[in-house]
A and B are shown apart, each in its own frame.
Chain A
Amino acid sequence: MSKAVSSAGVSNSGIGASVKRREDVRFITGQGSYVSDVEMQRQTYAVFIRSPHARARILEIDASAALAMPGVLAVLSGAEMAADGIADLPCGWAVVSKDDSPMKVAPHPTMAVDSVNYVGEPLGVVIAESLQIARDAAEQVLVDYEELDAVISLAGAISAEQIYPEIPNNLCYEWALGDEAETNAAFESADHISQLDLSNNRLIPNAMEPRAAVAEFDATNDSYTIYTTSQNPHLERLVLSAFVQLAPEHKLRIIAPDVGGGFGSKIFVYPEETAAAWASKKVSRPVKWTCDRAESFLSDAHGRDHLTRVELALDKQGLFLGLRVKTTANLGAYLSLFASAVPTYLYGTLLAGQYKTPAIYVEVQGVYTNTTPVDAYRGAGRPEATYVVERIVETAARELGIDPAELRRRNFIQPSDFPYETPVALVYDTGNYGASLDKALELARYDSFAERKAEAQSRGKLRGLGFSCYIEACGLAPSQLAMQLGAGVGLFESGEVRVNPTGNVTVFTGSHSHGQGHETTFAQVVSDRLGIDLDSVEIVHGDTGRVEYGLGTYGSRSIAVGGSALVLATDKIISKCKVIVAHLLDSEADLIDFEDGTFTLRDSNQSMDFAEVAAAAYFPATFPEDLEPGLTATAFYDPDNFTFPAGTHICELEIDPDTGVIEIIQFVAVDDFGKVINPMIVEGQVHGGLAQGIGQALLEEAVYDEYGQLQTGSFMDYCMPRADDVPNFVVDTTVTPCTHNPLGVKGCGEAGAIGSPPAVINAVTDAIGIKNISMPATSEKVWRACQQSKSSSGGAV
């Protein structure tokens, strides 16, 4: 089989080629098959009854009027569900407090039983013949509540009313990492200390496709099939069986077909698909549920929401001596599936950034409030860490009068330092931070920034420039390490390569694609390794009934972990092929070479191509007893370490001081993702991440009123970034291949959202000449800051 090869030596479809995404044709012509497209015979419709109160006792649920309506099949409550043995929704990561006590878990019934703890919490579900009837009936279910005082403000949560009797101060845990004594000592010997109080705004993920589920119980064999919008169907199956007790694992099939975006919010096991499945057994009919947008705003896990004090100790030369961080993280009303890990292990461990800070100490208080649960959202912990580090570093540079690029460079971990062990529990394998910074400075034309600033000033505009030199830990995760740190599951990945008799290949991956383009990228990897056409490779994912096992997609892990599993599986295929070829050519397997799809007997002119070997594997007329027919291989890959994508983002913007309106003039992102499989897809991932990061910095914020009602419950009030809110991005890469996975890849899905917010805010504060402004830097906040800085010489806003 021959492949076209470009002049640069990269095949047109192999590793390194910008192949157009194969899945996009069906997506952009409206032919994707999403959960809501699934129609089952005799299906019924679910509408949830949700709490209008942030905190209340449920005194009585009167469903008699609803049940009397024609077409209503059932009104089911959380109490009935619990009575049926459906257990609480679990949190999958056990965090231990600094006093060695385990985290305090608020009981989280799948649907509320006695009390409700956030607006939108489901406490019952109506099942009816049509959506119209279900919705009309839901309105007739009368719930008698006794309202209780709710805890809404994060800042006041610890001293507020106690939400759960068994959880004093609403504190889930007080976690710490790093050496406190050493860090305090570093501050005592410091020449300069910089300090900032930061907030990391609460975000609502807003995937384009709302969550949905279609569930069917099959009484003939006591099994469930659940179509749902999941980033990790096997994990969903594990949780629903082992923890929630819905059914044994072999009696559950979870299918996550085309899924329209997740950004973390579809990792978690939610009440709704669980209740839909259970209800399908109760009514002996399939049950369909589709979230509407207003419902998504209230019930999808939110992201971020931290308050942090950070201090950086430096010496006279500007070398970092110590970093001290104290954070309060909002967990919402209950612990969602990975909520406990996000502000701890995914946050505190990243506080070294790209720097050789010798002493770091971080304390995190995870607190409950009567708000929607908060969990992983694109970046998950790492954007929060990057924001803390990159804001304080920029602040220190300004206070010391050192160029911010220079200060960073002085403190960078150098290429010769790798592997580098940080004071916060990670070992970085490789990187070249100076290279990314240099390239970014050049692309940003940093040298001539002062001229541009002066020119802007002549037009009455304030121009600013801000840096962010971020690092993230991706490729979640080495199972042993993760489980030592409290993870409830291993974080390996599985892949299976099935070579069909005619030589084409069906690939099964435990990674899930919900916008990332796996059907293209993974096919590139397999076709490249096997030396066959891209079109001969089909990628299957998202179905526990077809894919052997998987832990899914999050933490930029798909290519680094899922892709590596496929490499191991293709290696097994190639080994088996060599045995077959050796048998057919009457030789030894280690005398068979494989290159570009052809097996050759060394030092001979005898060869077989891949398709011939595949055919032979399934027509084993002459195979000896110890050679099995068939050509399939499965591999599980457990990484040795995290991967560490890193890079430099530089934002240049202009402010109209009359209105506070910000225009981003230029945004440069130079990222080191290690080896890149498909540069076009990677660039797309960066663009999306940057848009979300800029959205966080300038536009997005979930706002609750004092009673816990979400004020930003629709797109009329919650400002998602749109195309005209972001500039044309200048995107480039540098490459230090990951040292511990077979592809040398690091992952690229979250970098944009992780690196960009501090670059934007550093640029805003630079433009106005102030120390701090909170995210999102809305036009009114910026205008006020401009007013204040005119009348004083800076200050917090």
Chain B
Amino acid sequence: MSAEQILIWGGGIMYEFKYHKASSLDEAQSLKTNTADGIYLAGGQTLIPTFKQRLAAPSDVIDLAGIEELRGISTSGSVLSIGAMTLHAEVAASTEVRDSIPALAVLAGLIGDAQVRNRGTIGGSVANSDPAADYPAAVVTLNSSVITTQRTIVGTEFFQGLFETALTEGELITRLEFTVPDRCAYAKFPNPASRYAVVGVMIAEYSGKIQVGVTGAAGCAFRALALEDALNSDASSAAIDAVHIDVENFNSDMHASAEYRAQLVRVMAKRALAAL
């Protein structure tokens, strides 16, 4: 009998799995290799609801919460480094972040609600590549690097589509590195129900050059090159209005049509520009 033929309930009861709390990256990775169908657990804000709806049936759950090296926020020179297991609430409140890239603290503070911000992690968010997540806008805009257990992935090459990333099986994000821009701002249009981004636009300036990242509008976050070109020759609202926004790859669902999302990209870009 196929899965779509059954519809069952029962108080959010998950399938049984084995739970492990890894205390080091090595342990986490070896658990992953040595279990039939293990999965990493960060804040669980995406994963646990999936389990409760019985959309996933992992054999083993490998909790990353006990791994010290995945935590912590630091700056060194022009690079802000944030450990994968850092909570959204920690990023929002961090003086380190506020002093270097205040817009990133603002972005973190706009995620979901207080409960979500106190459980959800930056690594989990980025690894998940939800099209409506906020952090991906920062990852593509802020000359960033996604540092993993195996390599360093350039931020603009990390997101590859709807819930798809450059990560390979078992590869763990350890931290994210953002290059501190001269100026930066983020504007978000939240979905009134979920409070995820219908559209979010980040604008940053590095040595006079403007970069624009968009989340929510398409399958994954992307750099809006047409907007960047326009703003680099005329950093004004009028310049944004004049840009044709190609909606070919835009999402269209019951919450927002592609056309409306295009409008929101324009408006959020103007708001971010005004806040720069």
User: Which residue numbers of A lie inside 8 Å of B, CB to CB?
Assistant: 45, 47-52, 119-120, 131-132, 134-136, 138-139, 142-143, 145, 290-292, 294-295, 658-659, 699, 703, 711-712, 715-720, 725, 778-780, 783-784
Contact = CB atoms under 8 A, between A and B. Distances in A.
Nearest to A705: B254
A437 to B, nearest CB: 32
B10 A780 contact: no
Given A47-B10, A135-B13, A783-B263, 4 more contacts: A292-B10, A659-B263, A715-B194, A718-B193
A717 B194 contact: yes
Nearest to A719: B193
A659 B190 CA distance: 12
B260 A783 contact: yes
Interface stretch (B1-9, B24-32, B74-82, B101-109): B1-9
Contacts of A52: 4-7
A292 B9 contact: yes
B66 interface: no
B254 A135 contact: no
B251 to A, nearest CB: 13
B197 to A, nearest CB: 13
Interface string B42-68: 000000000001100000000000000
Contacts of B257: 780
B7 A132 contact: no
Nearest to A701: B254
A715 B267 CA distance: 27
Contact of A132 (B1, B6, B16): B16
Main secondary structure of the interface of A (DSSP, over half): mixed
A715 B6 contact: no
B250 interface: no
A51 B193 contact: no
B189 A659 contact: yes
B264 interface: yes
A131 B9 CA distance: 10
Nearest to A130: B13
B143 to A, nearest CB: 30
A138 B6 CA distance: 9
B5 A48 contact: no
Contacts of B264: 659
A383 to B, nearest CB: 21
Contact of B9 (A143, A294, A780): A294
A709 to B, nearest CB: 10
Interface in B178-237: 189, 192-194
Contacts of A143: 5-6
Q: Most chain-A Cβ atoms within 10 A of its Cβ — which of B54, B192, B263, B267?
A: B192
Contact of B6 (A139, A717, A778): A139
Contact of A717 (B1, B15, B254, B267): B254
A716 B53 CA distance: 14
Interface string B236-276: 00000000000000000011110010011001000000000
A290 B10 CA distance: 7
Contacts of B254: 703, 711-712, 717
Contact of A47 (B4, B9, B189, B255): B9
A49 B193 contact: no
Q: Most chain-B Cβ atoms within 10 A of its Cβ — which of A120, A712, A783?
A: A783
A699 B192 contact: yes
Q: Most chain-A Cβ atoms within 10 A of its Cβ — which of B5, B11, B13, B255?
A: B11
B183 to A, nearest CB: 23
B188 to A, nearest CB: 12
A783 B198 CA distance: 15
A134 B264 CA distance: 46
A658 B11 contact: no
